[in-house]
Structure 1
Amino acid sequence: MSPLLFSLQEARNKFMNATREAVASKNTKQLLTAFSQVAGSENEKKLTLDQVFRGVLEEEIINQASCDNCLAIISLAINGVTEGICTATTPFVLLGDVLDCLPLDHCDRIFTFVEKNVGTWKANTFYSAGKNYLLRMCNDLLRRLSKSQNTVFCGRIQLFLARLFPLSEKSGLNLQSQFNLENVTVFNVNESESTLGQKQVEDRDDGMEIEEGEMGDDEVPNNSSSIPIDYNLYRKFWSLQDFFRNPVQCYDKSSWKTFLKFSEEVLAVFKSYKLDDTQASRKKIEELKSGGEHVYFAKFLTSEKLMDLQLSDSNFRRHILLQYLILFQYLKGQVKFKSSNYVLLDEQSLWIEDTTKNVHQLLRETPPDGEKFSKMVEHILNTEENWNSWKNEGCPSFVKERQQDNKPQKVARKRPAPEDFLGKGSNKKLLMGNDELTRLWNLCPDNIEACKLESREFMPTLEQFFEEAIEQADPENMVENEYKVVNNSNYGWRALRLLARRSPHFFQPTNQQFRSLPEYLENMVIKLAKELPTPKLHKLKIRPPSEEIKTGEDEDEDDEDNESLLKENNESPEVQQQNPVSGELIEALANKLGEHWKTLAPYLEIKDSDMKVIESDSEDVKMRAKLLLIAWQDREGARATTENLISALNQAHLNELAEILASDAENCTQI
C-alpha cells in the first residue's frame, strides 16, 4: 500500500480544532494527538501548525479578547517547540504579531510575559532562532513609546535586552564611541525676540510688581526669584548642551574657550544660589517616596519663562551637573577610537580636575540626600571606567574554558594586532596606558628622527673631554700622578666609551701590553695632543713622565715613533723598583710559613677549589705552602712581586715574616 498523501485543508481543520481545545484546557495533549494522526512529513505538518497558531491568534486579536488568551496561545507554541511539533521561530512571530496589533496598555502586560521567560529565550533551543526576532520586536516597540512619558517602559526594554544578549554582543557596545549628534536642543537664539528682562506689571491689591518668570505653582521654592536671569545667562546655559552632545568640540581651541567661559558662569550661578530643603521641595519628596505615579522625564523645555523654575529644581540641577561629569570622563579617558589629535593640554587637564571637585561638591549640597547621590554617581562613573578599559582591550570574553583531564594546557599567545595599541587615522597614536606617557611618547610623529636632532646630542668632543688630561700630562705643569684625572676609574670608563665612538686609535692593533688603564690613557692623551686641531693644545709640550727634558732636536725624534714612547713610558722608575719573587725566596718562605699557609691563601686570592687541590696533592704543610706560593706566582705573572707578597703577609697579620722579607729580599737565607 502506498503512503497517504498530505492534505493541507484536512490538516488545517484538525490543527485548528485541536488548538482551540488546547487553549481552553491549557494542555498540549490534543495537539500531540492531532499531529500524530495527520498524514504527511513532519516538515509539512510543522509549517501547517505554525500557520494555524497565527490564525487562531488573529481571531483572538480581532475579537478583542483578553491578553490571557493571547498569552495562552504563545505558551502553547513554546510547548510545541519543546515537543518538536512546530518550528522554533513560531513563539517569536506570535509575540511580534501581538505587540504590533495591541495598544500600548496591553503591550505592557505582554512584555511582562516576555521578561519572565527570559530564561526560556536564552535556552539553546530558542536563542539562535529567536534573538534577532526579539531584538527587532524591542526596537519596534521602542519606536512606538515616548521617551518622556513611557520612561519606565523604555528602561524595562533596555534591561531585558541586556539580560538576553551576552555582555560581549557587539551590537550593544558602541565600539567606535559614536555620539548621538541628532539629539539637538532647540532654544531661542534671537535676542530681539527674548522676553527676559521685560517686566509685566499686574495690578494687585498689595501693589507689588511681579517679574515674568516669578509666577509659578505652589511648588516653586522661595529663593527662585532671587536668581538674576537675563538673556546672556539663558543663551550660555543652553549653548552648553551642544558641547554635551558632541564632546570632541572641546579639543578645538576656540570652542574650548567658549565652553570654559560659559561653564564658569553657569557653575558660578549654581554655587551662589544653592537649593534649600524647603517645605515645597519636601512635599515633592514625600510624594515620590510614597510610591505615586511614575516620574515624567521630559526632553529639555527651553522656554525662557521656565528658566528660573528649572534652576531652582534639584532634579534639573543634578541632570546638568551629571552631564559635566560624563563629559569630563570622556575628555580625560583613554578611548581606543579617539583621534590622535584629541589631546588635552596641561592647563585643560588642571581645569577639568578642579571643576570635577566643584561639581561633586555641588551635588553633595543639592537636596535631597545630596551626599548619598554624589557617592552613587562616583561609583557609577568608576564602573564606566572599567567598561571603557574592557572595550579598549577588544572586549575579551569573561567566560573561562575548563581544562580537560585536569591537565594544564599551554595557551598559545595571541600576537597583538596593531589596532590593539595603535590609534586610527593617518597619524597613528601609540597608547601607553597612561595619559602622560601617551602624550610624551607621541610628541614627535617619528621617534627615530627625534633622536637624531642636535638637541639630543649629549656626547662631548675629544677636545672638550681630554683637555684637562692633556694639560696635566704636560711636565711643565708639574701635576703629580695621584692627582691626574686618568687615575679616576669613573673618568677612565667614560674615556674608553668616548674613544670607542670618536677615535680610530681605539681599534688600532698594537703589541704593547698595558698593565693598567691609567697607563693606556696616558698614551692615548699623548697621541690626541698631537692630532687635535685646537691651538691651545698644540702649545703643550707633552713628554712621557719618565723622560728627561730634551732639546728641540730630540723632541722631533719623539714624534717619529709613538710606540717608542709607550716603551719608555713603561720603563718608569716605579715599575723598575718592583722585584719579582724568585724560586729561592719561595722555597725559604714556604719552610717558614708552614701550617700558616691557609691563613695567607685568602689574601693571595686563592680559590677554595685550588686549596682543595693543594691539600690532595701533599700532606706536608711546607709542601702545601710552597704549592700555594707557586700557584699565586703562576696566576699573577709579572705582578708576582716582593712588594705585593709583603702586602699580603701584613694583611694576614703575619708581620714577622713580612718584616724579614722586607729587610733583605735578596738574601733569602736570613728567613
Structure 2
Amino acid sequence: MPGLEINGHGIPAVDAVGDYLQELLDDAESIKPERALEPILAKADFDDIYGHVARIFTGFDDPNGRKLRQYAIVETAARAIFGRLTVSTSIDSPDFVRVWNLFDILAIFSDNMDCDPPLLFWLIEELLDSQTVAGCRRVFDYLESRRERITAQYFNSTKLVILRSCNDLLRRLSRADDTPFCGRVFIFLFQVFPLGDKSSVNLRGEYHVENVTTYDEAPVKSAGEEETAVAEKMEVDDAPDKGESAEKPSGKKERQPAIDFAALYPVFWSLQASFSQPKKLFESAQFGQFKTGMEASLAAFRQISSQDDARKSRQLDESRRGAKRKRDKEDTDIRERKTERQDELADTYNPKYLTSRDLFELEVSIGLAPQAQEL
C-alpha cells in the first residue's frame, strides 16, 4: 500500500507561512549563489518581509491571543521546513546552506517579534542533538559567525536555551580528544553571557574539594646531600685567606645558585589546596603560606627560563661556527615533521602531570610549569 503524503497541515495560515518561508529560501539562493555561511542575510535583502508576514495574520479575530497563535503557526511551518531539509541533506553538502539561510530568516523574524525569539535556538539545539561531533563543529561555525547578530536582542528569553544546548554538547565531548572544540564552546559562552550572570557565578561558594592532590609531604634528603656538603666544605677550606685578594676575575658573571627541587617539590604541590578551596585564603596564615609558595615557584620558573635562553644562545653560536650545511632540504624536512607532529598532538590525550617526587625535577626542568589539576 503506497504511503500517504500530506502536502499541508490543514491550517491555511500554516500553509501560507510555509509557502512564504520557501519563497524566501529561494530568494536567498540568488542572494548567496556561492552557498557559504557568509554573507549574513539581512532584512534589506528581501522586499517588505515584515509587511508580508503582517498581511498573513490580518484575519485573526482575537487580538489578545494573536501573538501566541502567530508564534505557534510560524514555529509549525518553520519546523516542517527544517525537518525536510535536515532529513534530505547532509550537513557536509553545499545544499545544507539552505538550513543556515532558514536560521538567518528566523533571526530576521525574531527581530520584529514575528516569531518566538527562542525558536532559532530550539532548532539549533535539535540540530546539535542530531549531528556527530564533526557535524556539531559546523553548527558552531554558524553560531560563532552569527554570535553578535543572534544574541543582540531578547537575550533574557534565549539564554536558557543557549546554556542548555552548550552544556549538553559539552557532556558529549571528550575533554581529552575534543579539547579544542570544548574551548570553542566555553569561549562562545563567555562571549555571550555577561560576567555577572548567575550561570557564571558560584553563588553557593561550592568547590570541588573531593579532587585532592596527593603528593609526598614528608621532606626527603637527596642521596647526594652528603657529597654536596663535603664539596662545600672543601671549597671553604680552599678559599683564600683574609689577607689575600678575593676579587673575582672580571668578565665572569656570578653563578646563580642551583634550584633545590627537593625543597620546591612540597611547596609547589601544596598550592593546589588553595586552588581547590579558595575560601581558605581568607585566613591570614593560609594566605601567607600561599603567597610564599607562589613566589618560590615563580622564581624557580624564571630561573629555568633564563637558563633555557642561555642554552639556546650557546647552541646558536655553536651552529654558526659549524660547517655550512644544506639548509634548504633540511628546513623542508623539519617543517614537514613539525606539521605532522602538530597534527598528532591535536588528537593526542594530554594528561595531568604526575605528582611523584622522582618526576618533579624532570617536569620542571623541561621548562614547563606543571599544570594545576582540574578543580
Please indicate the TM-score interval, normalised by the length of the shorter structure. Answer: 0.5 to 0.7
When the two chains are superposed, the root-mean-square deviation of aligned CA atoms in Å is 5.1
Q: What is residue 366 of structure 2 aligned with on the other side?
A: 313
Deviation digits for residues 623-660 of structure 1, max 9, x if unmatched? xxxxxxxxxxxxxxxxxxxxxxxxxxxxxxxxxxxxxx
Report the 3-state secondary structure (helix = DSSP H, G, I; strand = E; otherwise coil) of the residue aligned with 1:53.
helix
User: Which residue, 84, 92, 98 being the options, matches 1:59?
Assistant: 84
Q: Helix, strand or coil: the match of 2:308?
A: coil
Q: Does 1:141 align with 2:194?
A: no
Q: How many residues align?
A: 276
Q: By how many angstroms is 1:48 displaced?
A: 1.7
Give the corresponding residue for 1:104.
133
Q: Distance in 2 between matches of 1:73 and 1:114?
A: 14
Partner AA of 1:131 in structure 2? K
Q: Secondary structure of 1:276's match? A: helix
TM-score scaled by length of structure 1? 0.33
Deviations 1:18-49 (A, max 9, x none): 43443343276798768745785254343122
CA deviation profile, 1:479-528 (whole Å, cap 9, x unmatched):
xxxxxxxxxxxxxxxxxxxxxxxxxxxxxxxxxxxxxxxxxxxxxxxxxx
Q: Aligned runs of 1:510-525 on 2, under 5 Å?
A: none
The 8 Å contact of residues 147 and 154 in structure 1, kept in 2 or not, is answered as yes
Contact 2:107 2:150 in 1 (8 A): no
Is 1:117 the counterpart of 2:146? The answer is: yes
* Residue in structure 2 matching 1:76, options 84, 105, 108: 105
The amino acid across from 1:276 in the alignment is D
Partner amino acid for 1:59?
A: R
TM-score when scaled to structure 2?
Answer: 0.53
SS in structure 1 opposite 2:90?
coil
- Please tell me whether the aligned partners of residues 53 and 114 of structure 2 are also in contact (alpha carbons under 8 angstroms): no
CA contact (8 A) 1:121 1:164 kept: no
Aligned-pair CA distance for 1:81: 2.7
- Say whether the 8 Å CA contact 1:80–1:86 is kept in structure 2: yes
Name the residue aligned to 2:327.
none
Matches for 1:87-486 after TM superposition, within 5 Å:
87-124=116-153, 126-166=154-194, 169=197, 171-172=199-200, 178=205, 180-182=207-209, 184-187=211-214, 237-249=268-280, 275-277=307-309, 298=350, 300-302=352-354, 304=356, 307-316=360-369
Aligned residue for 1:316, secondary structure, equals coil
CA contact (8 A) 2:213 2:273 kept: no
What amino acid is the match of 1:97?
E
Identity over the aligned pairs, expressed in percent? 22
The verdict on how the C-alpha distance between 1:238 and 1:13 changes in structure 2, with shifts beyond 3 A counting, is same
**1:50 Cα deviation (Å)?**
0.6
Q: Compute the displacement of 1:102 (Å).
A: 2.0
Q: Which structure 2 residues correspond to residues 430-579 of structure 1 after superposition, within 5 A?
A: none
Structure number with larger C-alpha Rg: 1
Is residue 19–residue 30 contact of structure 1 (8 Å, CA) maintained in 2? no
Q: Secondary structure at the match of 2:123?
A: helix
Higher relative contact order structure (alpha carbons within 8 Å, sequence separation ≥ 6): 2
Deviation at 1:68, TM superposition (A): 2.2
Q: Tell me which of 41, 45, 50 is aligned to 2:75.
A: 50
Q: Kindly tell me: are residues 29 and 65 of structure 1, through their superposed partners in 2, closer, same or farther at Cα, counting changes over 3 Å?
A: farther
Gaps of 5+ in 2: 1-8, 30-45, 61-65, 224-257, 317-330
Could you say if the C-alpha distance between residues 65 and 309 of structure 1 is closer, same or farther in structure 2, counting changes exceeding 3 Å? same
Matched residues in 1 for 2:282 and 2:111: separation? 57
